[in-house]
Amino acid sequence: MQIHLFQDKQALDIAVAQEFVRLLQQHPHCILGLATGGTPVGMYARLSAACGRGDISFAQCQTFNLDEYVGLSRTHPASYYQYMSQNLFSKVDLPLSQCHLPDGQALDSIRECQAYEQSIAHAGGIDLQLLGLGHNGHIGFNEPGTPIDSLTHVVQLSPTTRYANARFFKNAADVPTQAITMGIRSILNAKRIICMVSGADKAEIVRRVLRGTITPDVPATLLRNHPKAALFIDRQAASLL
Ligand code: GLP
């Protein structure tokens, strides 16, 4: 796995945004895999600004998000749909019909997972997948132990993941217990992957991801088997390497 190291979070945001800018300029019809969480917020701001300046257009691309909470409506303030809407979709020229997230309110969630997987395949697969990194090594919402061949599926969120995401909810108890997430295989199917990591609190898991055994027990280690996966990190996240 390639490692790109940056002085600080700002430099990291600029570099990751630049990768998306380059792809959109060269391949306006590209398929983007997007992530939520605190890490990519600044990067999305830069992409929105680039679009505002006319450097890039999202008009012809399609986006697929990694995951969504089960039970939250698209209008719920902590839903990933709202996150994407606020951080990117409402700020760029991307038609909403070309933005895809799993439907957390689908009556038949198993069917929703299959349909989501099919729509990614139908679009031609993901050209560039953005990932964040959970403190336990999760990618998307693939918790430790998720099988390597997993496709989009419903997951039971671990207590640590619910705790880490509680800051986005009014009460910690409001964090849903389940989510729909692309599986490990769905992620590894992407032609290119950028995993973006920032901050000292991620230093220990970054060390395990890069130096530890490749195992489903630390899902992000599986990225090391992908020919075009790169870790973009700031100095703080790299401090234990
Ligand atoms: C959530 C998301 C992940 C994200 C992770 C890290 O669990 N489902 O996709 O990578 O949080 O979030 P943060 O960037 O806030 O540390």
**pLDDT tens sequence across 195-235:** 999 999 999 999 999 999 999 999 999 999 999 999 999 99
Position 71 pLDDT exceeds 90: yes
In this predicted structure, the answer to whether residue 160 has a pLDDT above a threshold of 90 is: no
The mean of the pLDDT values for the chain is: 96
Is pLDDT above 90 for 108? yes
Residue 79 in contact with ligand 1 by CB distance below 6 A = no
Going by alpha carbons, the residue nearest to atom 9 of ligand 1 is: 140
SS3 213: coil
Instruction: Output helix, strand, coil percentages for the chain, rounded to the nearest 5.
Output: 40, 20, 40
Give residue 173 CA to ligand 1 midpoint distance, Å: 18
The span from the CA of 89 to the CA of 91, in Å, is 5
Decide: 93 and 63 in contact? Cβ < 8 Å: no
The CA R_g of the chain, rounded to the nearest whole Å, is: 17
Confidence of residue 114 (pLDDT cuts 50, 70, 90): very high
- 176 pLDDT exceeds 90? yes
- Where does the pLDDT of residue 178 fall: very low under 50, low under 70, confident under 90, or very high at 90 and above? very high
Q: pTM value?
A: 0.96
Burial (CB < 10 A; 0-12, 13-18, 19+), residue 16, is buried
Tell me the catalytic residues. Answer: 67, 136, 138, 143
The pLDDT of residue 161: 87
Q: Which residues of 214-226 are buried (b: 16+ CB within 10 A; e: fewer)?
A: eebebbbbbbeeb
Residue 158 pLDDT level (bands cut at 50, 70, 90): confident
Contact 184, 142 (CB under 8 A): yes
pLDDT tens-digit map of 121-144: 999 999 999 999 999 999 999 999
Distance of alpha carbon 129 from alpha carbon 220, whole angstroms: 13
Q: Whose CA is nearest to atom 1 of ligand 1?
A: 37
36 Cβ inside 6 Å of ligand 1: yes
- For ligand 1, say whether the CB of 140 is within 6 Å of any of its atoms: yes
